[in-house]
Amino acid sequence: MIEQGTVERGATSPGLTDGERLSLGVAARLSRYLQVLTQARKMGRETISSQELSDYTHINPTQIRRDLSGFGKFGKRGVGYNVESLVAEIRKILRTSGQHNIALFGAGNLGQAIASSDIFADHGFQIVAIFDVEESVIGMQVGDLQVRDFSGLEQVVGDEEIVVGVLAVPSEAAQEVADRLVEAGVKIIFNYSEQLLQVPPEVTVHTSSPAVDLLYALYFDLT
């Protein structure tokens, strides 16, 4: 089965009973709110209004209030939402509380940029292993980590409790890496290559493409 894009994942919360799942639309919007809130927190903001969230996400403020009120009472009229507490609550709803370990594949320019960025750490995801097949980079220091030999993937996935594999590899190598991750039991793959990956239906693949994101933005800007 070819998987591409974000698929629906479950979450329980005050607004959901056990076994219920967030709709794809709600999960996507909550993720966007969380992204803005995380940046606001880094900027030292203590509160934020639904209108400000709307300005950054381009989601109607009424929709924002409706989404959040479905899970509890978070804001105060005239004051807005407490940034710190709302980050914590949305992470609970999305089941991203705590730390989740990532293995990164590819120690080239893109891989090193990903490893040095806070993009994952800001949301509780920690890169704990970096792999490559090139002898010239194996053992190289990238941040606090040494690049590992790809042949040791399975043991590291088990020892480090890896839950996500991030692929920053050439397209022709992506399927092999995905196959090894699936065999090792990893259920979530974040793919920066242009390769369409064939994985079992229980494995989630998200393919990140700046060109696709740009086309999406242009469509709404030009129509």
Identify the pLDDT of residue 8: 31
**Tell me: the pLDDT tens digits for 188-217?**
999 999 899 999 999 999 888 777 667 766
- Classified as helix, coil or strand, 166 is strand
- Calculate mean pLDDT across residues 139-149: 94
Identify the pLDDT of residue 220: 60
CB 41 within 8 A of CB 99: no
- Classified as helix, coil or strand, 114 is helix
Alpha-carbon gap, residue 65 to 61, rounded angstroms? 6
Reference 180, options 172, 189, 171; nearest CA is 189
> Where is mean pLDDT largest: 30-34, 160-164, 214-218?
160-164
Identify the pLDDT of residue 18: 46
Identify the pLDDT of residue 221: 62
Phi, psi of 59 (to 5 degrees): -105, 135
Q: What is the pTM of this model?
A: 0.70
**Tell me: the pLDDT tens digits for 50-108?**
999 999 988 999 999 988 887 766 766 767 899 999 988 888 888 776 678 999 999 99
Q: Is 147 left (phi over 0), alpha (psi -120 to 50) or beta?
A: beta
Question: What residues are paired with 207 via a beta bridge?
Answer: 191
Q: Which residue has the higher pLDDT, 18 or 82?
A: 82
> Where is mean pLDDT largest: 21-35, 96-110, 174-188?
174-188
Which tokens go with 204?
């989630």
Alpha-carbon separation of residue 199 from 4, 6, 131, 167 (angstroms): 10, 14, 20, 14
Identify the pLDDT of residue 111: 93
- Calculate mean pLDDT across residues 6-30: 58
- Calculate mean pLDDT across residues 149-164: 94
